[in-house]
Structure 1
Amino acid sequence: MTTRGEKLLASLGDRLSGLRGRITVDAEMDKITWFRAGGLADALFQPADEDDLAAFLKAVPHELPLTVVGIGSNLLVRDGGIEGFVVRLSAKGFGDAAVVAPNRIRAGAALPDKRLAAVAYEAGIGGFHFYHGIPGAIGGALRMNAGANGVETRERVVEVHALDRQGKRHVLSNADMGYAYRHSAAPDNFIFTSAVFEGFAEDKEAIKAAMDAVQHHRETVQPIREKTGGSTFKNPEGTSAWKVIDEAGCRGLMVGAAQMSPMHCNFMINTGAATGYELEYLGETVRARVLENSGIRLHWEIRRIGTFRPGHAVQEFLGQLL
């Protein structure tokens, strides 16, 4: 039986000939997400470099669904899978970092946040220690204005390089990114490829101490050795998500093999073989209970993509209290 992914590739004929990147049909998304859950992507493309990505974007019909993912740390894929192409930037083509001017670093979008912190430390550039504790890559940090320990991405960004859906290159300033809390206003169809960041000169011992403090905090209060997606919900204004979740009695709450961590109840974890459905149903159960208990509407920080399996759709707040 021909799969959805095979039909997709066949429909494109020789449009993709000449690409140097890797195409995987019927890609198992649970292998690349930290939750280790979710269905198949019709096709996964990992471009060799920016030119290869531009060629792909120009070749693929604009009406074909296209989803961009990073290293999978803040991502929940639904069990019905992902239609069309998933684009995932390779570490080889987009994972470089270099000091390009005093206190400035250019980093590829596939570079792990933790690696950017290390490059800054080696160069004696302060202001990047917070990235040492963020389990993601630069592309995601740029898109969602990732932050921790009182510092956000927007405080470090100088310019961002991106390709649009037609493969055209763009350079965005910090102001162009329209940053807000865990949000950027950059067009959804832009694929970030790299960015220039700026910090400040700082003693390496001070930088190392700040990075060690970040690591100690993570190890003592977060379930970093579990299958998790990091913070599940954004902090509501004036309080913390974990506090309202705890007050609603959801610490340790389980749906199937999905659980709100007893250690940090704003971390959702896969305790075994949780499905995408169980994880999302748990999240919406928490949202419903918090809304009922405190009147606060939690907003997802974890990105949820793909389609539901037939008969296993999950409504926001479970369809209650709307």
Structure 2
Amino acid sequence: MTYPDITQDLKAAMPDLRGRLAANAPMADITWFRAGGPAQVLYFPADEADLAYFLKRKPKDLPTFVIGLGSNLLVRDGGVPGVVIRLGRGFAGITAEAGHRIRVGTVVPDVKVARAAAEAGIAGLAFYRGIPGSIGGALRMNAGAHGSETKDVLIEARAVDPEGNIHVLSRDDMGFTYRHSSVPADWIFTEALYQGTLGDPADILAAMDEVAEYREQNQPIKERTGGSTFKNPPGHSAWKLVDAAGCRGLRVGGASVSEKHCNFLINDQGATGEDIERLGETVRARVKATSGVTLEWEIIRLGQPLEGRPVGEALAETVVS
């Protein structure tokens, strides 16, 4: 799939843009699944001000999406029309502040935030050691692990809306619920400020090592995966429902359900985006049939299928061997 190159038109409309624009950029290169088609335009903003400038001047009808590390993202094989914004160095700052606080850019990996907090003697953020992805995704999904969630430690976040206006959002403004924030989906988080407590670096690092050991023993962290695939339904564990439906090890093309943790899908044999989505939808259908529970995707699915190919729940209709 190849899209029309609109980068020159965008540059002409934005003479002071400092970030980089790339046409028909392969998304498989920058997502953890390593699958899917290209972005029509991939934009790397220089910093928050550059991002705001771009959003103020881009055509209003041009679709725009944002990604961080690409950890919990599945890109469909037809690619993504419009602009995909990939946050980079300008959003990678980490600063420990007085009062056991830490300020971080939203492209910073969760694990790096946990380690920086520990080294500064700030307790309360060690749970981020167990979460793949970046702080932007953690804000969007109220990411959590081991009994703690983002809402427990966040003071405020900065975000840019589709018109290029910059907002400072309190924790209450975020509208956090389980794996969800009510902030509009088209607002782009740029920075977060966290509140921790006084802690001993050695004790915090020891706790982080326990989290890391648990992940390595129980999750396929060395595979091409998107992290947890489905949200835990109320009163249930997603992985237990998947296991009870007989889906552990289930395969579609180059994708399979992890034998180690069956709420993880893995690309272990050159899977396409459709392989992965078909597998996920088949798992959802089997869980629904065996338990009556409808699993909700936690992984974000972005873009369009190849021409003439099905998408979403229609994929589960194909018989899987």
In structure 2, distance between residues paired with 1:150 and 1:102 = 24
| Cα displacement (A) at 1:317 | 6.7
In structure 1, distance between residues paired with 2:11 and 2:189 = 28
Which residue does 1:70 correspond to in 2? 68
Does 2:167 correspond to 1:177? no
The question of whether the paired residues in 2 share the 8 Å contact of 1:74 and 1:229 is answered with yes
In structure 2, distance between residues paired with 1:41 and 1:5 = 11
Structure 2 residue corresponding to 1:86, chosen from 81, 84, 87: 84
In structure 1, distance between residues paired with 2:21 and 2:126 = 35
The question of whether the paired residues in 2 share the 8 Å contact of 1:288 and 1:318 is answered with no
| Cα displacement (A) at 1:315 | 3.3
Equivalent residue letter for 2:49: D
In structure 2, distance between residues paired with 1:12 and 1:111 = 28
Structure 1, unmatched stretches of 5+, are none
**Runs of 4+ in structure 1 displaced over 6 angstroms?**
none
Structure 1 residue corresponding to 2:41, chosen from 30, 40, 43: 43
Which residue does 1:25 correspond to in 2? 23
Alpha-carbon spacing, 1:89–1:159, altered in 2? closer, same or farther (3 Å): same
Which residue does 1:139 correspond to in 2? 136
Structure 1 residue corresponding to 2:228, chosen from 219, 228, 231: 231
Equivalent residue letter for 1:74: N
Task: Provide the aligned length of Structure 1 versus Structure 2.
Answer: 317
| Cα displacement (A) at 1:100 | 2.0
Which residue does 1:291 correspond to in 2? 288
| TM-score normalized with structure 2 length | 0.96
Spell out, residue by residue over 1:129-159, the C-alpha distance to the aligned partner (whole angstroms, 9 max, x if none): 1111211101010001011111100111100
Does 2:301 correspond to 1:301? no
Which residue does 2:160 correspond to in 1? 163
Which residue does 1:60 correspond to in 2? 58
Which residue does 2:99 correspond to in 1? 102
In structure 1, distance between residues paired with 2:82 and 2:58 = 10
Which residue does 1:15 correspond to in 2? 13
Which residue does 2:185 correspond to in 1? 188
| Cα displacement (A) at 1:9 | 2.5
Q: What secondary structure is seen at the aligned counterpart in 1 of 2:15?
A: coil
Aligned ranges 1:200-239 → 2 under 5 Å: 200-239=197-236
The question of whether the paired residues in 2 share the 8 Å contact of 1:124 and 1:203 is answered with yes
Structure 2, unmatched stretches of 5+, are none
Q: What secondary structure is seen at the aligned counterpart in 1 of 2:12?
A: coil
Spell out, residue by residue over 1:87-131, the C-alpha distance to the aligned partner (whole angstroms, 9 max, x if none): 0111x2000110122111110011111110011001111111111
| Cα displacement (A) at 1:319 | 6.7
| Cα displacement (A) at 1:58 | 1.1
Spell out, residue by residue over 1:144-187, the C-alpha distance to the aligned partner (whole angstroms, 9 max, x if none): 10111111001111001011111111011100000000000001
In structure 2, distance between residues paired with 1:179 and 1:164 = 18
In structure 2, distance between residues paired with 1:255 and 1:105 = 43
In structure 1, distance between residues paired with 2:84 and 2:178 = 26
In structure 2, distance between residues paired with 1:56 and 1:127 = 36
Instruction: Please report the RMSD computed on the Cα atoms of aligned residues, expressed in angstroms.
Output: 1.4
Spell out, residue by residue over 1:2-28, the C-alpha distance to the aligned partner (whole angstroms, 9 max, x if none): 95241x224446113221111111010
The question of whether the paired residues in 1 share the 8 Å contact of 2:74 and 2:301 is answered with yes
